[in-house]
Amino acid sequence: MTRWLSNVFRLGLKELRSLWADPVLILLIVYVFSIAVYSVATGAKLEVTNAAVAYVDQDRSALTGRILGAILPPQFKAAEEIAADEVEQAMDNGRYVFVLSFPPSFEADVLAGRKPQLQLNVDATAMAQAGNGAVFLQQIIRAEVAKFVSRLDETPELPIDLVVTTRYNPNLNSVWFSSVMQVINNITILSVLLTGAALIREREHGTIEHLLVMPVTPSEIMVAKIWANGLAIIIAAIFSLWLVVQTLLQVPIAGSIPLFIFGAALYLVSVTGLGILLATFTSSMPQFGLLALPVLVVMNLLSGSTTPMESIPDWLQFLMQAAPSTHFVSFAQAILYRGAGWNTVWPDMLVMAGLSGVFFLIALQRFRKTMATMH
């Protein structure tokens, strides 16, 4: 056992030196955990921001002016007036996300209680912005009409007191979500790519033949690649959470970083094993990239890091329970967002440990067969 551990340690040091000597991979790690996290978090926003609004006003009353005056930044740009016959073309050209059409005698019909129709055209190409923006506009219209009819400057008081408590993200800021999830997704991506690239690099440089004549076993080679590349990824992830997420983006981390690191280490065994498994089916980096790409896309999109698991069909939710990324995302969100402790996240950690063992054994068996065929 002592010799096995010694070989794993020395082979791991070799992997770290090989990684350090590859400037492309070093640059990739730095980019993925710094610029990529920051740019995605600040650029890919789900909130309604600067949405273009146009209106057709055939009434030109005080009520329509009041509604249009309530459409304000930062959610919306100042509303622009267009003619009724320009609506279709303006929407087709993508000039406006929302177009309001006020019919003639709109104010008079409202005051008479005749419930006139107010048309809101929505460009639903960008679904999140369109859906949220339409809700905001409906709220604005209802509030302004209610105040106008009651001749009050305040919305009529409801017969109930509705208290909304927004926890974990009080300002509903998508940066808080997307920045942390980008770090989590990048851990998955780099874990697969680095370990797979390490094995492919051994083949391309011919050093795999040197390992075959040394007194080392496939398990020692594989474990060395896992701990060396996993260590590099964990260090990069910690750096990203501290410098990019907490310092630059001012996103608070609620839970225990050491507990997160421990769970990430469990998770890395499975995804680094997956990277080695995929690499055994390929002979070059282009082949490995083509094989890894669809696997990574499915793992990330259906893990709960992009959309809630509840929105995925039941049968697909069941299948995704076999993916370690699903449990890692649940684990990471519980700790980093909600400040959960061991008593909350231990089920996910237990599943991750079990899946890591399964993935490791499958990858090891395949790796042994691959090594045997090279003798």
CATH number of 53-150: 3.40.1710.10
Residue 374: per-residue pLDDT: 60
Q: Mean pLDDT, consecutive 10-residue segments, the chain of 375 residues?
A: 85 86 89 93 80 93 93 90 92 91 92 90 84 90 87 62 81 86 93 88 72 76 89 94 94 92 93 90 87 90 84 88 92 92 92 92 86 66
CATH 3.40.1710.10 residue spans of the chain? 53-150
HEC string of the chain equals: CHHHHHHHHHHHHHHHHHHHCCHHHHHHHHHHCCHHHHHHHHHCCCCCCCECEEEEECCCCHHHHHHHHCCCCCCECCCEECCHHHHHHHHHCCCCCEEEEECCCHHHHHHCCCCCCCEEEECCCCHHHHHHHHHHHHHHHHHHHHHHHHCCCCCCCCCCCCCCCCCCCCCCCHHHHHHHHHHHHHHHHHHHHHHHHHHHHHHHHCHHHHHHCCCCCHHHHHHHHHHHHHHHHHHHHHHHHHHHHHHHCCCCCCCCHHHHHHHHHHHHHHHHHHHHHHHCCCCCHHHHHHHHHHHHHHHHHCCCCCCCHHHCCHHHHHHHCCCHHHHHHHHHHHHHCCCCCHHHHHHHHHHHHHHHHHHHHHHHHHHHHHHHHCC
Predicted local distance difference test score (pLDDT) of residue 21: 84
pLDDT at residue 358, as a whole number = 92
250-301 pLDDT tens trace: 999 988 999 999 999 999 999 998 998 998 888 888 889 899 999 999 888 8
**pTM for the complete prediction?**
0.81
